[in-house]
Each structure stands twice: as structure tokens, then as C-alpha cells.
Amino acid sequence: MKPVPRWPLHPAPVEGEALSSWLRRVAACYQMEVHDLLAHDLGHGQVDDLDTAPPLSLLTVLSQRSGIELDRLRCMSVAGWVPWLLDSLDDQVPAALETYAFQCSVLQPRHKRKTRTVARWRAWLPRQPVDRACPLCLNDPADQAILLAWKLPLMLSCPLHGCWLEAYWGIPGRFLRWENTTPSPRAAGEAITAMDQRSWQALTMGYVELPRRRVHAGLWFRLLRSVLDELNTPLSYCGKGAGSIRYVWERCGHPPRAGQNQWRPYEMLDTVVQLQMLEAAATAIDLLESQVVIPRGEQAGLFLPEPQTGFSRGLPVKERQQKPIHDWKKMVRAINEAFAEARYNPETARSLFALAASGKRDPDSLERLRDEFAQEGIPQEFLSHYEPDVPFACRKISDSLSSKF
């Protein structure tokens, strides 16, 4: 059998480029259309899902014709990002949404969100095509590459230039018309660029650096998808966290839930609504990391800075002076950290419970308090058969909080 001949001309794929975009640029080298290149040169008919799940046989012959590794070609489509970006391309899994978007919680406790089942759902794959691109990238005649991430409702800004992605019509490199007639690059805000840089880091590096620690790309995408769903939760379901959710929407200048009255999964929303949701997610993460809003979710601690372990600047212990806590934000952060530790440290859990139980001696009040602790994710076995020593616990928690400042 004769070996498959190599293409004499073919541009190298741009990092993160969509497969359809690269094939368009290859076809342009020979003054062909993509469907002609597929049919007459590669032996494949029209492939409608080039950027979702291209056939393995097509990827194999592309690798032979170009010399590009098969794994790299796979990562130019969504299929190459299973199970990091999404669990599966199968849209018939009944519990897919619940498994993907409801296992993590950031802004709200998990029990405050109503779990839902949606037929024919896949994470991040929109109901309608997304045609957005960076004006600076497409103004370069030598490039004209469309990134795969631009085809998903995943980012608002260009990870290379930090400007807003703009909607367009047409085919880059041939005919292109911007929806905004004057697509001069608009700089995206710090919150948006920070969120998008993390998504880009996940796509290109496989991990994301969060304030608390490095996390796997798969966890980042699920955290982001959870925040989007939390922001789409009706305020009547949010309990004590409703004020924080409302404040996030006020800060980004959009109505709560981007004006939606009926719940639908993020992927099935109109593009304009999806963009507002993404903007709200960026705002929420920024407010969370600056400790302006009080997070109540189990994974919120990943977005908070590491707790101070305390330095003495070389001073002997007796010469250290305890600094009083005057900043309420620091106090809230310390309490949140204490609750986070209480989820796995029985001693901390009992001390917090004793502090909260100060003045409560009637069994019903203590039982209600135990239920509230359980809702915060603190195991009941940490508190069972426990009678609080209130004075000792108050001293212990007070010393713990003071040592953080």
C-alpha cells in the first residue's frame, strides 16, 4: 500500500484553534472550499460536527497528510476535551446535569439549589451556534484563526489581547462582517479577563491556579458551571444568600438571572443571556476573592487566600502584641475558615458549636442548632452526645480568631 502523501502546504494550527478553522485555512492554501477538501482530497463527505466530534478516520488521514499528532488534532474539537470540559458527548444521560453542575457549590450551600433533570443536555454545548471572535486576532491577515473556546459560551474576552469578543457574520479570511459596525477593540474589565485567563489556562495547561491552590482543569470548569447555575437560582430559594446574589447582579448592571423568569439550563439560554450570565459569574468570583460577598458553598474556600499562619518578625513571644480585629471582613473570613475547618476537625466543630450554644440550654434549641450545623456540612457525629463547655470554647475560638490577625 502506498503511503499517504503529505500536503506540500499547510499552516500550523494556532494554539486552541478549532478544527474547522484550521481546515478552512488549509483549503485556502489550495484555493478550495472546506467541503471540497474533505470530499476530493480526504475522501470524506460533508462533516457537520467538525468542532464537536469529528470521525476518527478523518483525524487519522489528517494526521498522515499534515504530520500533526493525532492527539493534537483531537484536542481541536470538543471530543478531545472529554472528560475534562464535559463528562460525555452522549446527550441521553438522565442525570448528566445533576452530576456536572450540582456536585460543587460556591456561592450557595448545595441544599439550597433545586436539583434538576433535563433531557438531551451536554455541558457547555450551546443550543445555537456562537460566532464571536477577537477583532485584533482577525485583523491579522496572516492568522484568521478561530479558537475552539470562542465557539462555546465559555469566555467573554480574548485570552491574548484582553478585549471583548465581538459577534460576526461570514467566513474569516474571505468575507467578514461584524455585528457592531465599528468593532474597535474594547478592553474587558479585570474581573472578566481574570476569569477568562483561568479558562484559557485550563484549556492550554490542564490546570488553574486559584488563590488557595492549583486545581485540575476539570474541577475549574465544573466550579464555573456551578457558579452560573447558582446565579440562575431564583432568589426565593437562596435564603440568607439572596442578598449576595442580588448584589452581584447589581454590580454587573444586569437584572437578576439576566431577566429570566423561567429556569432553563445555561446551555439552552439565548446568546445575549449567556453573555450576561458569564459577566455575572466573573463579577461574583471577583467579589468573592476580594471578600465583599460572604460565600456559603463548600468549595468557596478555593477562591479565598491562604489563611495567615502568623509571623512574629523575629520578636520573642512575650513581645508580640495582639492586634484587635476592627475589620469586619477579616472577622467574617476568620469565621468562614473556622467553619471550613470544622467540616473535618471534630475539635473545631465542637468548639464552634459550644460558642453558638452559649445561653441555650433547652434541648429543642440545641437540636435546632445541630441541624443548622449539619446544613453547613459539619458531620453530626462530631457533635453527638456532646454537652458544650461554653467558657472554655469561647476562649478557644477567641484565641483562634485572634491568632489570624
* Domains of the chain by residue range: 19-80, 132-303, 324-402
Measured over the CA atoms of residue 363, residue 369, residue 374 and residue 380, the dihedral's sign is negative
The reported pLDDT for the residue numbered 318 is 46
In the predicted structure, residue 206 carries a pLDDT above the cut 50? yes
In whole angstroms, give the CA distance from residue 282 to residue 152. 16
Buried (b) or exposed (e) across 40-49, using 16+ Cβ within 10 A? Answer: eebebeebee
For 13, 52, 98, 114, 201, the CA distances from 285, given in Å and listed in that order, are 32, 29, 22, 22, 16
Q: What is the pLDDT of residues 102-115, one digit of tens each?
A: 999 999 998 878 88
Q: Which residues contact 211 (CB under 8 A, 6 or more apart)?
A: 289, 302, 303, 304, 305, 306
Q: What is the pTM of this model?
A: 0.74
Which of 121-130, 200-209, 323-332 has the least mean pLDDT?
323-332
CA–CA distance, 276 with 287 (Å, rounded to integer): 16
- Convert the pLDDT of each residue in 165-193 to its tens digit: 999 988 876 777 888 766 678 999 999 99
Instruction: State the average pLDDT over residues 299-320.
Output: 65
- pLDDT over threshold 50, residue 388: no
Write out the H or E segment, with its range, that includes residue 387. Answer: none
Distance CA 213, CA 195 (A): 16
pLDDT > 90 in the chain, percent: 57
Q: Quick one: pLDDT at residue 49?
A: 87
pLDDT at 142: 66
Give the percent of the chain with pLDDT over 70.
Answer: 84
Write down the pLDDT at residue 147.
Answer: 95
User: What pLDDT is recorded for position 231?
Assistant: 96
